Structures are given as C-alpha cells and as structure tokens.
Chain A
C-alpha cells in the first residue's frame, strides 16, 4: 500500500522528442506528488509537483498529468534535450502526524540522444 511503482526503468529519446515516465500508487491518502531530477553525483532536485485536486500542471517543458481515479501520474518532458539526460524519480507523500516523508519510485534513467 505504501509503494509507488515507476516505469520504465530506462528510456532513450531523440532530441526534440517527448519523454514520458509513469508512476502508480495504491494508497489514496497520498496528497502530494513531486518529481525529482538527479544527475550523477548530485542530490535529487525538485522539478515539479502536483496535488490530487488538479489533473495537470505545467512548468516550462515539464508537465505532470494526474489521474486520480486510476491512481496514476506521469511526467512529460516536451522537446527533450541532451541536458535532460538524468535519472527521474516520482514520489508520493501524505500528512501522517505531520511527517511529510516521501515514498519514492525506483527511478527512470533518461538518455536524450543529440
């Protein structure tokens, strides 16, 4: 119930293409869904986040689509660039006694070909 399932494990996209990464969860108590980007040797950096009362959120080339009934959410990277090559993690959290700890997916390694 606490798991967040992420797919695919790895993804190769041509420059200018659309990268799509999917996550699914079971626990309907989750109420905050962030996406993180991680480059080798660095800590994860917050990319974009969404709450379940919104079906879509867009920031620049990055869009989260959220399907509450299916308990799924996805990250879309439009016009993918070689600089987007990184590992992406989805996460989910809920307010449990004030602890907003994240449950992370297992990550997607994205490679954008020049």
Chain B
C-alpha cells in the first residue's frame, strides 16, 4: 500500500514568511508524529497526534510552530515568521493503534533565506 507522503518535497522561503507543510499518513494509521532533522543532527520530536486525543506538543521549539490534524488523517505543520534556524528537513511518521513501529515519509526540506 501507499506509504507516508509529504508535500512539498522542498520549500524555500524568505525569513519572516509563514510556511505550511503537509503530511498524509498511511491509511488506517491513527498515530502521527512530526520530527525535525537539522544538518548533522539526529531527529528531534516535535508533536504527536493520536486519534481524537489532545496532541502532545511537548517538542515544539517555540510558539511560532503549530500543527493540526483534520479528520484524523492529514496533518499540517505551520511555522510562522520563519527564521534561518528553522531550516531543516521536517519528517512525518505514522503508526497503527498501539504500534511501536513508526513509518516515515520522505520529508520536506525547508530552507529559510
């Protein structure tokens, strides 16, 4: 079946602009995660959605970052007033109910100029 998809694959934006990154999880997966991968760094947890439960936002680095998940499927990560330090690859992953395995999408490479 189809894996996790993300769009756009690349995004170049000017400092101060807002950006939206999209994630389509694997069909039927109820859990959805966003991670950030900075150059030379590991993956950093940002936010987690599980069904209709309140999201775990503990990894969001500032209030410029927000995310929503509509209809329990597609998720959008929004970064407001982008800064150069926001440049990174943003990865989305999904998993099944109670599943520990997370399946990652190809990521969105964000460059803030």
Extra A-B contacts (12), CB below 8 Å, given A43-B93, A46-B102, A99-B48: A32-B100, A41-B106, A43-B91, A43-B106, A44-B104, A49-B100, A99-B50, A100-B95, A101-B59, A102-B33, A102-B43, A105-B42
Within 8 A of A (CB), among B22-75: 31, 33, 35, 40-45, 48, 50, 53, 56, 59
Q: A: which residues have CB within 8 A of B?
A: 4, 6, 32, 34, 36, 41-46, 49, 89, 91, 93, 97-107
Whether A101 contacts B41 by the Cβ 8 Å rule is no
CB distance from B2 to the nearest CB of A (A): 14
Whether B4 contacts A99 by the Cβ 8 Å rule is no
**Contact residues of A: prevailing secondary structure:** strand
Count of A-B contacts with CB under 8 A? Answer: 62
Whether A46 contacts B95 by the Cβ 8 Å rule is no
A to B CB contacts below 8 Å, 6 in the list: A43-B91, A44-B91, A49-B101, A100-B102, A101-B33, A106-B40
Per the bound structure, the CA–CA distance linking A105 and B43 in Å amounts to 8
CB distance from B29 to the nearest CB of A (A): 12
Per the bound structure, the CA–CA distance linking A107 and B40 in Å amounts to 8
Choose from A41, A93, A98, A106 the contact partner of B42 (Cβ within 8 Å): A106
Choose from B42, B45, B91, B105 the contact partner of A101 (Cβ within 8 Å): B45
Per the bound structure, the CA–CA distance linking A33 and B8 in Å amounts to 30
Choose from B4, B31, B53, B104 the contact partner of A100 (Cβ within 8 Å): B31
CB distance from A101 to the nearest CB of B (A): 5
CB neighbours of B44 from chain A (8 A): 104
Choose from A41, A42, A97 the contact partner of B56 (Cβ within 8 Å): A97
Per the bound structure, the CA–CA distance linking A6 and B41 in Å amounts to 11
Known A43-B91, A43-B106; contact A106-B41, beta-carbon cutoff 8 A: yes
